[in-house]
Amino acid sequence: MGIVIEPLRSADDVDEILAVEHASFTSPWTREMYLAELRNPEVSFFFLARSGDTVVGFCSFWRVLDELHINNLAVIPGRRREGIGAALLERVLREGTERGADRATLEVRRSNADARRLYERFGFVVAGVRRGYYTNPPEDALVLWREELAHG
């Protein structure tokens, strides 16, 4: 079955986002955190990857002035390496450009080699380190940036 990338349209999808989040991260966001994000539609945005009626991935981001900050990008473990993360990232970067962002940033676990490779394919480069950023287990985050979103 094909994958459809679409904007989050309703808080009804939060439970499916949480299922993806819990399957993907050791320190997942809470339901309350997601609902708070949804109450700020001028800044906070979500895209879902659906296979039929099932959410198999999502990406959340903020657009603040000329910057896009990717908060979360996750795909359920059984559907990884199918291009779903790349499709989400491509759609989010396009949306950011359409909303006036010139550059994008995100944090990624230093040990998350698969995610780092994905981001590098999309032109992100390491710009710094946030020591002790992650907990459970403790780990540094690499801060990645991509400049000139409209050119690539």
Number of neighbouring beta carbons within 10 Å of residue 131: 9
* Those residues with Cβ within 8 angstroms of residue 81's Cβ, 6 or more apart along the chain or in another chain: none
Q: What pLDDT, on the 0 to 100 scale, is given for residue 1? A: 66
**Nearest-angstrom CA–CA distance, 25 and 72:** 10
CB 68 within 8 A of CB 149: yes
Q: What is the CA radius of gyration of the chain?
A: 15
Q: What pLDDT, on the 0 to 100 scale, is given for residue 136? A: 85
- Sign of the Cα torsion 7, 83, 75, 152 reads negative
Give the pTM.
0.92
Helix axes 31-38, 14-24, angle to 10 degrees: 130
Helix, strand, coil % (nearest 5) of the chain? 35, 40, 30
- What residues act catalytically? 107, 119
One pLDDT digit (tens) per residue for the chain, 152 residues: 699 999 987 888 899 999 999 998 888 889 999 899 888 888 899 999 999 989 999 999 999 999 999 999 999 999 999 999 999 999 999 999 999 999 999 999 999 999 999 999 999 999 999 999 988 899 999 999 999 887 65
Query: Phi and psi dihedrals of 35, rounded to 5?
Result: -65, -35
Quick one: how far is CA 65 from the chain centroid? 18
Amino acid at 116: R
Using DSSP, state whether 73 is helix, strand or coil: strand
First to last CA, the chain: 29
> All domains of the chain, ordered by start, with CATH?
3-151 (3.40.630.30)
Q: What pLDDT, on the 0 to 100 scale, is given for residue 150? A: 77
